[in-house]
Chains A and B, each alone.
Chain A
Amino acid sequence: MDTSSLIDSLHPLEIKVLTALREHHAAAPSGALREDEIAQSALLETAQVSMAMGWLLAKTLARVQQETVTPIASLTKIGERYFEKYSPVERILSAVRAAAQTGKRLTIQDIQAHEGLEATETSRAVGALKKEGAIRIVAGGCVEATGAPSHTAESLRALLKQLRGTRRELKAIPEPLRPVVEQYAVKRGNTNEPFRIDDHVDRWYALTPEGKSVADLLAQQRPSDEVSQLTPELLKDGSWRSKRFRKYTISLRPPRLAAGKRHPYREFLDLVKQKLVGMGFQEMRGSLVETEFWNMDALYMPQFHPARAIHDVYYVKEPTHARAIAEPFLSRVADVHKDGSKTGSAGWGYNYDRGRARRLILRSQGTAVSARRLASAPQVPGKYFSIARCFRYDAVDATHACDFFQVEGIVLGPDINFRTLLGLLNLFAQEMAQAKESRFLPAYFPFTEPSVELHVRHPRLGWMELGGAGLFRPEVTLPLGIDVPVIAWGLGLDRMAMVALGIHDIRDLFSTDLELIRTTRGHF
């Protein structure tokens, strides 16, 4: 960069610092200035000087001429507490001396308990006192005062007094005390110390030859010519024509923006929604609280059967039961469970409990929404989907959430059969996972027969289970008044969503960490 464009890119703070250094140089050519001296001369805050100094050093316009490091000792919070309440060394020594006068025998444990000390501080203090001969350990683990003075205890007291509320250069502390400061100063790995020693660095800055020539050039310019911001006033009166616009360092990172943005998981769900609508599916909505009837009974899941255990559910506390289940569905479903009624089925062969049907639960599967849709005169042919919040009685961990979205739906029409079921799943494989290969495996769901599991080869994830589906059993459809075959399908998209969002814990789909939400980018 040539000198003139270098000048154009200087920040006003840099200009002020350069000017101050130049003035000092004129007065004392071999001299240099500390940050605080520059601040004083340029009428700036020290922080502003150190910021500008950083830039100038990087541009080699200024250099550090001299640097001194001064260790400074001061009290920590613990040190202030020791001043008030005495250090463990002092307390143990005085406890032992007091005991010597009354003839009491004290063990280390007694002292520790009595003084309310930690085991580690006790053993360290006892060790120090023992080493300098102020105390000794006798038979039975008892501690006795020897009568000898303790240099440590006396030094600590002197230092706590001297350093209280002030800082001192380490070398100003007289020789017998200095090693004690060093021994009891905060170090890496041990922060519970009364003293700290900080290195105070003083730097003296001077101009480099290049800085000198830039500063000289600057001095020749009229500073009022330069502006950093174009303003309406400058535009209005045309005075911008006589101004110089400071050049920016545009490679710096810009400040962050707090943007309005959809949630990354929502972007994924919106895509799913859009695809389903594109395939001709109508959205269905349902209730978070459901009856066992619509959640399970209507789906031909018998009230007393292991199939029900898959759906360990949350029960509602109050009210426990819905007042009634709509007829004719309740009676028809009860009959089907009992003996198959007119569906051509043998039924489950048990006495259906109508009371239990009314039990209120949190919806455990999106299929409950489908069951309600079937019972309320759906279009035939028809395609429906829901992205339904569901609840499972699972311990929450990286793979289980207490509530989650289930993408489910139905397809009904006279042309529905096992092969069109497979055709639909193929479409899902292509549309939802961009998979060119898919496999169908036999599956089990209490409400469908035949049942299929869809496995697809995802372009990035490899073979994965994408969903399950089947033809609703006639025991499900006929009692709800549907006399055409119905596909029930569900897609397991959370794994795809997690990969698209780059997260590994299912709980992060509903993260409470704004920083994570703001910075997550979806790769869809």
Chain B
Amino acid sequence: MPTISINLKDFEQLLGREALGDRPVTTAQLEAWLPLVKGELKDHESENGEVRIELQDSNRPDLWSCEGIARQIRIKLTGASSSYPFFKGTQPSKRRLKVAPGLERVRPYVAACTATGYPVTEAGLAQLLQVQEKLADIFGRKRHTVSIGLYRLPAIVFPVYYDLVKPDDARFTPLGFEEKMSLREILAVHPKGLEYGSLIAGHDRLPLLRDEEGQVLSLPPVINSREIGEVRVGDQDLFVEVTGTDLLMVLLTVNILAVNLADRGAAVKAVEALYPYATPLGKSLRTPLDFGKARTIPLKTIETALGQTIKAEQVRETLLAYGYEVTSSRDQVAVKLPPYRNDCMHAVDVVEDVAISLGYGEFTPVMPSQFTVGGLSRVEQLSDRVRDLMVGIGFQEIISNVMASRPELIDRMRLAGREEDRVVEVDNPMTQTYACLRQSVIPSLLRVEAASARSFYPHRLFEVGEVALVDPTAEVGSRTVTLLAALIAHASANFSEIHSCLDLLLYYLGCQYRLEPISHPSFLEGRAGRITVQGQPLGLIGELHPEVLEQWQVTTPAVAFELEVDRLAGENVAKS
């Protein structure tokens, strides 16, 4: 889903000597590795070594950075995962984050860590900012579930407080501004306040991160303080904080940021968050935290899904080379995801990782062997027959968009205010041109007619296509129906000509019909009829009203008929 930029030199360094030897990374080489991360090379600038990669898997936010992509490939190349000791620590952290009561109703979760001893490089900062943006925007649904803050650690005096304050009771200088503003002003004026303020609106108090001395770190999830919350190239010690509405997503995000910084050489240390209310994992959370659990999968499950036998030991090696922690016995494997992943819901997720780690090319395709009978639906069979007949009668087939505008479907057809003026409308149209589903195919043919005066006459057009008819008794409020519409336009087109075509079509379809004269606004009075079969309406026929033609800016006479193909397919159609 996200497309990210990485720098090839930076990527090389993150891959490391052990994985790479002395070879430089070429784009061809990178492309060969990308299946491991479900990545696709988008483009490449050879001058500055910037490469853009689209990552498909929306459940693998750990891959949405140069560090993450390099990590997955490095593990494959070296056969071993890096160790991240900070997940193992059990001692209470000296650095604490105290959560105020009431936040459970506003933005309940916060987690943090520190990363020291890594002077931030230019490429490293670019990745930090990119991963912060992509995680918060896509994984965190525009900061709703997860938002991230990065700070200069030396400026902070612990403990840090995750507080709730009234909008006028705190002031700080937000990023991008020069002077102090109240929280209320920030929400009203700052671009980020306008963009994200709605996430915390509706509460009389707002979340605020402050340190022991009252310095504001940020107004999550809106904006950081300019003083503490602006990381620059060369900063050595960072404080990383994540707030959000989903505890596991918050924890996972901290874990990803922690391993990313650790991969660049930072020493990550835990921060302990103390909650006044219960979280799914208790009142005290020491993060980064490996909350994943091992699961046991029978070897048989993996073999059945892959369609071939595989030894438990091979599964173990394959998954180790993909970052898992694995133990295997004769007929089962116990697997645990690394702490920066939480995308294993089912054994099938592990099966896919086995296949990816082995390489899809390693599997020999086998044809499905079971016999099945092919065939078309009744409506499609009939549609094909109708199309064949219409072509034989001399009509050119048209295929149109099903979406249309209300003026096309209703106003130009003179149907406004009539029973027929009900169409399925879209609540969020992109443009008014495509705001409705057509309820008739005749407007589609008129659209062609209006655009085709330069094509020689006569014009005989038809379309067999789907429409949506409003029907309050239907499950989804409308029925999808297949209609045939036919239209003839030339200087002397008249009722008799289109009637002959209808008559011939229905003769070959073996359908006895009658025409009842009707009054219909789209057609000329006295030259319009309802097509009925055994008293049941099947469709309409007539000479299009001059005002309809005028509205469509069609300058030749036109005649048309339209009927329901589904009804022809039904049992109730009389056979002669």
Please give the residue numbers on chain A whose beta carbons come within 8 Å of chain B beta carbons, in ascending order: 256, 258-263, 265-266, 270, 273, 276-291, 304-307, 309-310, 314-320, 322-323, 340, 343-349, 360, 362, 379, 381-383, 389, 391, 393-396, 401-403, 411, 413-420, 422-427, 439-444, 446, 449-452, 471, 473-475, 485, 487, 509-510, 512-515, 517-518
**What are 5 of the A-B contact pairs (CB < 8 Å)?**
A419-B308, A512-B450, A513-B452, A513-B455, A515-B454
Return the contact of A360 from the options B402, B403, B451, B476 (Cβ within 8 A).
Answer: B476
Contact B393 A282 (CB under 8 A): no
Contact B401 A401 (CB under 8 A): yes
Q: How far is the CA of A262 from the CA of B457 in the complex (A)?
A: 18
Closest Cβ of chain B to A274, distance in Å, is: 10
Q: For residue B449, which residues in chain A have a CB less than 8 angstroms away from its CB?
A: 514
Contact B367 A420 (CB under 8 A): yes
Contact B368 A416 (CB under 8 A): yes
Q: How far is the CA of A349 from the CA of B351 in the complex (A)?
A: 22
7 closest residue pairs by CB, A with B: A417-B307, A514-B452, A419-B307, A422-B365, A450-B352, A381-B370, A277-B374
Chain A CB within 8 A of B214 CB: no
Chain A CB within 8 A of B361 CB: yes
**Binary flags per residue of B43-60, CB closer than 8 Å to A gives 1, else 0:** 000000000000011110
Closest to A276 in B: B374
Once A285-B377, A315-B428, A449-B346 are accepted as A-B contacts, the answer to whether A513 and B451 lie under 8 Å apart by CB is yes
Closest Cβ of chain A to B35, distance in Å, is: 5
Q: For residue A362, which residues in chain B have a CB less than 8 angstroms away from its CB?
A: 426, 437
Closest Cβ of chain B to A270, distance in Å, is: 8
Contact B428 A322 (CB under 8 A): no
For this complex, into which size category does the number of interface residues on chain B fall?
A: 35 or more
Contact B452 A515 (CB under 8 A): yes
Q: How far is the CA of A425 from the CA of B477 in the complex (A)?
A: 37
Contact B372 A510 (CB under 8 A): no
Interface-forming stretch among B120-128, B458-466, B512-520?
B458-466
Contact B365 A423 (CB under 8 A): yes
Which B412-440 residues have a C-beta within 8 angstroms of A? Answer: 424-431, 433-434, 437
Contact A260 B390 (CB under 8 A): yes
Contact B38 A349 (CB under 8 A): no
Chain A CB within 8 A of B139 CB: yes
Chain A CB within 8 A of B525 CB: no
Once A282-B375, A289-B478 are accepted as A-B contacts, the answer to whether A306 and B456 lie under 8 Å apart by CB is no
Once A446-B58, A513-B451 are accepted as A-B contacts, the answer to whether A415 and B368 lie under 8 Å apart by CB is yes
Contact B348 A415 (CB under 8 A): no
Q: For residue A316, which residues in chain B have a CB less than 8 angstroms away from its CB?
A: 424-427, 477
Contact B376 A273 (CB under 8 A): yes
Contact B351 A306 (CB under 8 A): no
Contact A289 B58 (CB under 8 A): no
Chain A CB within 8 A of B80 CB: no
Closest to A394 in B: B430
Contact A449 B374 (CB under 8 A): no
Q: How far is the CA of A309 from the CA of B137 in the complex (A)?
A: 11
Contact A259 B394 (CB under 8 A): yes
Chain A CB within 8 A of B14 CB: no
Q: For residue B361, which residues in chain A have a CB less than 8 angstroms away from its CB?
A: 439-440
Chain A CB within 8 A of B201 CB: no
Q: For residue B426, which residues in chain A have a CB less than 8 angstroms away from its CB?
A: 314-317, 362
Q: How far is the CA of A19 from the CA of B410 in the complex (A)?
A: 63
Contact A320 B35 (CB under 8 A): no
Contact A284 B394 (CB under 8 A): no
Contact B377 A284 (CB under 8 A): yes
